[in-house]
Structure 1
Amino acid sequence: MSEYRSLEDKLNYQFNDEQLLGLALTHRSFSNVNNERLEFLGDSILNYVISLAIFQRFDSASEGELSRMRSSLVRKETLAEIGRELDIGELIKFGIGERKSGGINRSSILADAVESIFGGILVDGGFLNASSVITRVFNKRLEKLSSDDFMKDPKSLLQEKLQDMGEPPPDYIIISTKGKSPHEVFEVACISRVLKKEARAEGASKRKAEQKAARIALTEMDRDR
């Protein structure tokens, strides 16, 4: 029996070329011929399949909300959880040093291996098979996903996201005020060192302008992921 049979059963997919699965489970510490190229493919198809799935499920969600939902599913932490559920740690080929240093349990390595497996299925069985496996693997998480969790006000979401990154809250600066009360228009800039550039927006009040700027900042952060 193949050493990968249990994993293939969990994936509900049997490789035609089992060497591809072996390659997907080969860490760079083990060989120069490793899973990094398959990881590149897997990351691409994973983002596409998950993007399409949430686009079809949440037809009223904004671009920013869809981006945040996708990020919650394809982030390294989620992929590492899936890797543990699939018990792939023991199957990954490591160099001696990496194995001794705990690579078998390292989240980043497990996450990369999961993406590599998806890439391997794409090469081995084509797009439809890879898409089907990804959808099955993520099905429970997709079912639990709620757009309400991603529709908090943008300022709160941005502050929470920055806190998770160990960053301070953003600064909001009034750039200009146009018109006279009660028809004033405020232009506000949202500034954080994690943003490539300040996020600017206009609104009929300072608060509305800040919320719009925070939404733009969130979208930019999701794009830069």
Structure 2
Amino acid sequence: MDTNDLQKCIHHRFEQVKLLETALTHSSYANEQEGDGDNERLEFLGDAVLELCISEEGYKRFPCAPEGQLTRIRSELVKEKSLAGLAHELELHKYIRLGKGEELQGGRERDALLADTFEAVMGAVFLDGGFEIAKETVLRIFSSKWPEKAMLPEAKDYKSRLQEVAQERFRDRPVYVLAGTTGPEHEKVFEVKATLPTGKAFHGSGTSVKRAEQDAARQALEYLTK
């Protein structure tokens, strides 16, 4: 796989190119190619890297913004649709390795798949270059995406709203855990359990982990705001 143009676009030259190749490998491809690993572990890592980098930058950019506004800003920047848009700008869709079924189902253009791949690539950058390099890469990619002011419309993101309510009521955050998956590879449904600080749990489902989390958060939010 020739990723030279992609590395130039990301502005990071990989010492371990295999990391980037793994980040671009969807599970549907790995399942068809014996010995090839998929990008799900790197996606998990990249999600955490993004959250920390964006949180720190938001904290510095908007010194007077309260936690709730910083949470909404971060949520807007790293939501699935935003990350999918960044993936398109970097032309990640040209490099993703997909299984035949996923390819035929139009996976290369699915927001969830593109967002997951973007996160995986950021995870690969972190492992290859360390946190400071990863932060430089993330902030460069997001440089034009920040709002001019901290004020944003009220978020429609259930996870962000639930976090604000939980922080206010319990001084703690809800916890999300992947409970399982069902269905064939190209139509996989994810099950997520969201647990409030009180121990009350809610189960959500969706075509991606993020959508399942949003569904669980919606149920928890409706329960808390009755």
Bucket of the pairwise TM-score, normalised by the shorter protein = 0.5 to 0.7
Distance 1:145 1:34 in 2: 38
Tell me what 1:17 maps to: 16
Q: Name the residue aligned to 2:150.
A: 147
Partner in structure 1 of residue 212 of structure 2? none
Structure 1 residue 87: Cα displacement:
0.6
Matches within 5 A, 1:133-172: 133-142=137-146, 144-150=147-153, 157=154
In structure 2, what residue type is equivalent to 1:138? F
Partner SS state of residue 73, structure 1: helix
**Contact 2:69/2:152 (8 A) holds in 1:** no
Q: How far 1:148 sits from its partner (Å)? A: 2.4
Aligned-residue offset at 1:194: 4.6
Structure 1 residue 73 and structure 2 residue 77: aligned?
yes
Q: Distance in 2 between matches of 1:116 and 1:193?
A: 29
RMSD over aligned CA atoms reads 1.9
Q: Percent identity among equivalent residues?
A: 35
Q: How do 1:133-212 residues align onto structure 2 when only pairs under 5 Å count?
A: 133-142=137-146, 144-150=147-153, 157=154, 193-195=219-221, 197-199=223-225
Distance 1:145 1:24, change over 3 A: farther
CA distance in 2: counterparts of 1:113 and 1:196, whole angstroms: 32
In structure 1, the partner of 2:201 is: none
When residues 196 and 48 of structure 1 are mapped into structure 2, their CA distance, relative to the original with a 3 A threshold, is farther
Over residues 79-108 of structure 1, what are the superposed CA-to-partner deviations in whole Å (9 max), with x where a residue is unaligned? Answer: 000000011112000000100110111111
1:193/1:21 Cα in 2 relative to 1: closer, same or farther (>3 Å)? closer
Distance 1:104 1:63, change over 3 A: same
Partner of 2:88: 84
Question: In structure 2, how many angstroms separate the alpha carbons of the residues matched to 1:20 and 1:62?
Answer: 37
How far residue 27 of structure 1 moved from its aligned partner, in angstroms, is: 0.2
CA distance in 1, matches of 2:29, 2:80: 22
Select 1:59's aligned residue among 56, 63, 66: 63
- Residue by residue over 1:111-163, the C-alpha shift from the partner in whole angstroms, topping out at 9 and shown as x without a partner, is 00000000001111111111110010000012x4421224xxxxxx36x557x
Q: For 1:40 and 1:145, how far apart are their aligned partners in 2? A: 30
Any conservation in 1 of the 2:69–2:151 contact (CA below 8 Å)? no
> Structure 1 segments of 4 or more deviating over 6 A?
none
Counterpart of 1:198, as a letter, is L
TM-score, with length taken from structure 1: 0.68
Residue 125 of structure 2: SS of its match in structure 1? helix
Matching of residue 30 in structure 1 with residue 29 in structure 2:
yes
Question: Is there any run of 5+ residues in structure 2 with no aligned partner, and where?
Answer: 32-36, 159-217
Residue matched to 2:107: 103
Structure-2 separation of matches of 1:129 and 1:161 = 30
Aligned to 1:217: none
Aligned length: 162
